[in-house]
Structure 1
Amino acid sequence: MRFSRLPIYLAAAACLLPPASSAQEAPTLAALVEAAWQRSPVAHTLAARREETAAARDVAASWLAAAPTLGISDRSDRWTDQRKQRETELSLSAPIVLPGQHGARRQLATRAGEELDAQLAQARLAIAGEVRTRLWEAAAAREVLAEKSDHLHHLEELAADVDRRVKAGDLARSDSLLARQEVLAATADVALARGRAGEALARLRLLTGTAALPDVEPEPLPPESGSADHVRLRAAQAAETRARAAVDLASASRQAPPTVALSMRREREGGMPGADRSIGIALQIPLSGKLRNRPAEALAGTQLATAAAERAQTQAAVDMDLALARDQLANARAGLEAVTSRAAVLREHTALFEHAFRQGEKPLADLLRSRALTHEAEVAVRQQRIALALAHAHMNQASGILP
């Protein structure tokens, strides 16, 4: 029977794949995602931005609005009256953040860090989606190669049987030529399938650094849930929250920060012995109004409006992706049931034709046609199983679930 030898043919077809797929131990899907994440430029960029957010938090925790200024001045009458008068002053000044501005700066820095964390999770989910797609492309190509190799083997068996019957005088020479051309066509199909399998594995290797495939089992489906806690939606909400914090900071920054200065002066008067020393404290309060800060407030408001619109669009996109994934899953299940039933009918049909051919009741052309249809149906079953597994992966991806 054809199906009793199927595992052997699958193993033989696997040997036709590139050596990297058999030389490595089969990884898990989570391991492939982690490998792709480590190779992703986006991952390295976002990870490097952690230093930016950490630096922003340190700056926001400070009460200084800018770097302090150190000043020194020296004045004497050496070049004028020559009364030996001299005055030296050393000062240190710094703009001080107002209490409301200080809280708004710290809030913005915190929200920026939360946005980065959400972006990291979103980027990792996007990488997982690419891995899932490449993985099931490679799995589908491997299944096609296995089935075509199996079909070639059986055509070779049939051609050998036809040759024996031609030599015995039971069949015409034309039947032997017909069987041989079917073998040659199947051989070309195997070569084409092997090339496509190699290409699919190469794309997977480029993404993950390995061409080893995990067990091609469908991912477990998540429990039925909404999109409230979706990774993409959390990232959009974090961006909106960060933009709102920027608006609060712009509103709190209408008044420019005051400057506090501490100075120490040393004065020498003529020929008087010793020198006078004094310490001074100065406060400068900028007289500014709303007009100075309007551009910054307008820019922050624009960014908030953009983030809110993107959050609403992301919500709609996530809901649509979930609905499409559910439909795809239902269609894949229905399709698998249909092609499985068709393959069972065609297998029975081919078995009857094989018996009739051996009895001389059916010509070889009819048997080859029946076998071709059965082979097509079996390929469809294999491909539909892959499609169902891919639908599982799409459902998890749409639900925001990482492997």
Structure 2
Amino acid sequence: MSNKPLKVALLGCGSVGSQVVRLLTEQAGDLEARVGAPVELVGVSVRRLDAPREVDVPAGLLTTDAEALVTREDVDVVVEVIGGIEPARTLILKALESGASVVTANKALLAEDGPTLFEAASKAGRDLYYEAAVAGAIPILRPLRESLAGDRVTRVLGIVNGTTNFILDKMDTSGAGFAEALEEAQDLGYAEADPTADVEGFDAAAKAAILASLAFHTRVTAQDVYREGISEVSAADVASARDMGAVVKLLAIAELRDDQVAVRVHPAMIPRSHPLASVREAYNAVFVESEAAGQLMFYGPGAGGSPTASAVLGDLVTVGRNRLNDTTGVGESAYADRAVRPMGETVTRYHVAIDVQDRAGVLAAVAQAFADNGVSIQIVRQEGRGADAQLVVVSHQATDAQLSATVEQLRGMEIVREVTSVMRVEGESE
């Protein structure tokens, strides 16, 4: 046990930062025992000194000069929870250059420019830990980085955005449309006033890039991730999934196929028997498949001040121990340097709803469009008659390019009034 305190600087005192301050105060004794030295908060960088905060922070700790705080010679660890690209990137780099280790929750920055941060940490001989960047309190990054280091991960399938899961869950359980469910999410504080980052999949794509990078030891950025949001998911899509014994979820999927990495975020139908189907409201879950361990699932609250702060403090304890022992933990692992497979070459399945003319030969013509593009049909059923006639087709696996071409061909056929819905299907074996 060292009497010399571990000195911590905090960047940001919003919902997460406030809870970090609270936990540092309330759990001071336990943290000291776990780290091996007292943990002392020496400064908190904020944009406004007089802004209301969830916890009381001694005025002497508050500062608007973040750069001066992170470059202090006595700071051992900088905790960054301000989010965004800048000034977070510059401040993290300056902290590392000044000799501090860094704990961050910044998924957007890691997904955009992680290699720059990792290289700076390696050059400085300091830690860069980021468990809180993906799935809040759920311990998923450390298992991928350390617990499964002796295994070969083949697939990561997850619900990593609580806002979209809440919306889709409400659409499933109440029959509400997207707009109605989004409004409820905003009223309850699960969705921002501007929900674009969540509902259009940007948040999930950043997390998918981080998960893929760790799982497959390859640098993957958010730009490498195919992305679709949930704003086009209709009540009819959700009802159709229910008729199939399935549920619609926004999934982050990272796969290893033919020694290439495929990463995508999009809404998909999954059978209600799949473990991810039971993930309700704003919860997150990540399903990992590996050659030796088999199937693992990690579940819990994926956002919020306290859950995210829990992950931050877990990293802080590890980084603090490393500082006391004058060592560092596991850094970036990108040795595999695998190629990222384009979405068109990714193998998937489709659920297609088609408004068609109710006349002889329609089913055969639709089946021929699938056959023309090399796509095999698993399920086909007709709903309604006359003006309300609709075909629902579920395909077997094919490349996304083949399936997209099939849909385009259907849209150009005289017998097809409209292709009303196209959604991928996941979680079922062929």
TM-score between both structures, scaled by the size of structure 2 = 0.25
| TM-score w.r.t. length of structure 1 | 0.26
Higher helix share: 1
Q: Looking at CA atoms only, which structure, 1 or 2, has the larger radius of gyration?
A: 1
Q: Which has the higher contact order (CA 8 A, sep 6+)?
A: 1
Structure with greater strand percent: 2
